[in-house]
Amino acid sequence: MKPRLDPDLLQAFVLVAEFGSFTRAAQRLNRSQAAVSQQIKRLEERAGHALLLRSTASVELTATGRDFLGDARRLVAMHEAVLTRLNGDGVAGRVRLGVMEDYGTKRLPPLVADIAARFPDLDIDMEVGLTAPMLKRLGDDFEIVIAMHACGGSDGELIQIEQAVWAGSRKTLPLGRGALPFALSTTDCLFRKWASDALDAAGVSWRLAHTSASHAAVEALVCEGLALTVMKGSMVPTALRNVGDLYDLPSLPNAEIRLHRSPTLSNVGIIVANHIRDRLRTTS
C-alpha cells in the first residue's frame, strides 16, 4: 500500500516553509517545536525525500521541497474547504484582498460578484493599487494578494503569464519630434523599471512626461495620444494598440501573476482564494 499524506503533516510542512521557522509554525499550530519537527520527519519518511534543510540559523526548502510546496498548499486548502462544507459551517466573515488596479477593475469584479451571490454572508474588502507594498502587509492588512512578478519566482501560486507590451492610442499618437513621451507609474512599479531599463539599453530618446500610481489615469493620458506606456498584453483596451513595432521599441519581458495567501488564512479565506485562482486560470 502506498503511504498516505496526512493533512496535518502537510499543514505543518506548509507553515514551516512559509514562516521559514519551526518555532513560528509551532506557535501557529499551538504545538511544541519538537512535535512539529516530528511531523515533518514523518512526512519526509512517507514522501521518501528530504523536504527541508535545517540549520541552527535557518530553515530552507530542498529542491524536492520547493516542487512539493505547491501541491501541499493545494491539498491543505482542499481539505480545509471540504471540511468547512461538510460540517455545515456557514460561509461567512470578511476577507481582505489586495490586487493590482487593472485586474481589480477589469478581471476581479465578476468573480467577486459571483462569490457574493454564492455566499451572501461573506464580505470581501478589496484594495487596488501597486502590489509590491501590499505584499509587505500580507497577514496584517490582507489575507490574499494578487501580485505581478518577474518570471522565475517561487512565491505564491502562479495564475498566468502576461506579456508586457508598449501601448499607444488608436486615434492619435505622440508626434515624432524630440524624445518620446511616456506615461508610467511610480518607482515601485515593475513595468516602469522594465520600460526605463529597456529604453535606455536600446538608446531610445525618451522622457517621463506623466507619472501616476493610477492605472486609469495613465490609460486616459495614453488614449488622448499624449504619451506611450507599458501594459499587460491581455489588458490593452480597444482604444489602445500595441505600438512596439511602429516605434521600433525593444522587447519587454513576460510577467507572472501570482496569488499569495496569508499563512493564517481562514477556511473561508481558502474558499475565496481557491475560487479566484481557479476562475482567473480558466479565463486567462
Q: Which residues contact 282 (CB under 8 A, 6 or more apart)?
A: none
How far is residue 233's CA from residue 168's CA, in Å, rounded to a whole number?
12
Q: What is the mean pLDDT of residues 148-175?
A: 89
Q: Return the higher-pLDDT residue of 19 and 97.
A: 97
Q: Is it true that 7-86 and 93-284 share their CATH fold? A: no
Using 50, 70 and 90 to split pLDDT, how confident is the model at 154?
Answer: confident
Please state which CATH number belongs to domain 93-284: 3.40.190.290
pLDDT digits (tens, 9 = 90+) for 55-71: 777 788 999 998 888 88
Looking up cell 484594495 gives 127
- pLDDT grade for 179, boundaries at 50, 70 and 90: very high
| 238-266: average pLDDT | 93
Q: Which CATH code fits 7-86?
A: 1.10.10.10
- For residue 193, the model assigns a pLDDT of 96
The pLDDT score that the predictor gives to residue 284 is: 57
pTM: 0.69
Measured N-to-C along each axis, helices 267-283 and 108-118 cross at an angle, to the nearest 10 degrees, of: 140
Structural domain spans, the chain: 7-86, 93-284
